[in-house]
Amino acid sequence: MKDDGRGETPRTLTVTLDGQPVAAAPGETVLTVARRAGVDIPTLCHDDRLAPTGACRMCLVESSDSRRMVPACRHPVSDGLAVQTDTPDVQRHRRALLALYLADQPGAPTPGSDLERLARRYGVEPGVPAVEAPRAGRPDDANRFIAFRADRCILCARCTRYCDAVAGVAAITLANRGAHTTIATAGDAGLLDTSCELCGGCVDTCPAGALVERSAEAAIDAGAPLEVVRSTCNYCGVGCQIDLHVDRVANAVVRVTSPPPGTTTNDGNLCVKGRFAFGFIDHPDRLTAPLVRGADGALHATDWDTALGRAAELLTGVSARYGPDALGFVSSSRCTNEENYLVQKLARAGFGTNNVHQCAAT
């Protein structure tokens, strides 16, 4: 272990995971230590960004300090602890738990959700008779962006914890009791009538497909293969990385998600524009050719050579007549660094003026 900066070396614990000794630090959970050691423990309610709650019981393991299985996501390690993550009893527990979660779903689990992936991995299919779970759900929500399917919710509270702890908004909460427990807003208002900022983080973290983007709902439920294309959001200069989910059959982007937390600058998060405002991609009003103003005063579509030739002619004309400082160059934080560099180079080296500005400078 490294020096902690105060000249003290933090204590190292030794934990045994499935018979293998591994080093751990005081305060770490069994799940953290296991993941670092490459031992896979399945989870549903866990999200690294959120304080663990131990709600779903998917991560139960056998631990030498307890007669009963313990949730790896919130069980702290101690020196000499011996943990078994994959015994027949643990496997039996995982299959039984998944069967109960599936019994609580209206049909097959949502394709592509964590719940569906785990059910496939453990070979669990709907079979346990459906339980009566009369979840009230919210009344019809008119918002165009997020669908909440109360009957698919496994009550892991990842969405509400994300909204509280990461978005800092607290627009949604767990409401009611027992079989009626559900996710709700204050006064059962529609999301657009709450403090919700439509960041979509609740959708992103939901492991059951109970919260989904309306734009992708049909494709997700049909299990349509969506091709994921990594790109950079162009709404501002932060450079958030985005994954465009493309339905190749419909030839359309149906949703936008963030790469996983800890992998890119946006750390698993997006704002409302980055996540939901992708309609411009195939909007009929989108410019697809450069426009040049004609003698009639109207803009006309043309090709790039013609447009660039006209711009060069007018810029050099103004410079020759009134001097280079009669020109001003304005760039945008929606352009790349390279494009912004080229604009200032065109102004300074090409025309000899320092009249160059970019919106991020103000």
**The binder of ligand SF4 chosen from 41, 81, 90, 202 (CB under 6 A):** 202
Binding of ligand SF4 at residue 270 (CB under 6 A)? no
Residue 24 CB coordination number (10 Å): 25
Q: Binds 226, which of ligand FES, ligand SF4, none (CB < 5 to 8 A, cut-off by type)?
A: none
**The binder of ligand SF4 chosen from 15, 39, 59, 171 (CB under 6 A):** 171
Binding of ligand SF4 at residue 124 (CB under 6 A)? no
3-state SS string over 80-102?
Answer: CCEEECCCHHHHHHHHHHHHHHH
Binding of ligand SF4 at residue 167 (CB under 6 A)? yes
In sign, the C-alpha dihedral spanning 214, 216, 222, 223 is: negative
| Identity of the residue, 16 or 173, whose beta carbon is nearer to ligand SF4 in the bound complex | 173
CA distance 97 to 74: 18
Q: What angle do CA 94, 35, 108 make, to 5 degrees?
A: 35
Q: Binds 44, which of ligand SF4, ligand FES, none (CB < 5 to 8 A, cut-off by type)?
A: ligand FES
Shortest CB 140 distance to ligand SF4, Å: 17
Nearest C-alpha neighbor of 172 from the set 146, 152, 133: 146
**The binder of ligand FES chosen from 59, 146, 147, 216 (CB under 6 A):** 59
- In contact, 26 and 10? CB cutoff 8 Å: yes
Binding of ligand FES at residue 154 (CB under 6 A)? no
CA distance 200 to 143: 12
CA distance 176 to 184: 9
Q: Binds 22, which of ligand SF4, ligand FES, none (CB < 5 to 8 A, cut-off by type)?
A: none
Q: Binds 171, which of ligand FES, ligand SF4, none (CB < 5 to 8 A, cut-off by type)?
A: ligand SF4
Shortest CB 203 distance to ligand SF4, Å: 7
DSSP 60: E
β-partners of residue 243 are 230, 257
Q: Residue 17: which H helix or E strand, with range?
A: strand 13-17
Shortest CB 170 distance to ligand SF4, Å: 8
Count of alpha carbons within 13 Å of 362, Cβ hemisphere only?
Answer: 7
Binding of ligand FES at residue 135 (CB under 6 A)? no
Two structure tokens written together for 202: 């609740």
CA distance 87 to 94: 11
CA distance 201 to 271: 9
**The binder of ligand SF4 chosen from 60, 199, 246, 347 (CB under 6 A):** 199
Q: What one-letter code names the amino acid at 316?
A: T
Binding track over 18-57 against ligand FES, x by CB under 6 A: -------------------------xxxx-------xxxx
Site for ligand FES in 71-90 (CB under 6 A): 71, 73
- List residues binding ligand SF4 (CB under 6 A): 153-159, 162-163, 167, 169, 171-172, 183, 196-202, 205-206, 208, 210-211
Q: Which residues lie near ligand FES (CB under 6 A)? A: 43-46, 54-59, 71, 73
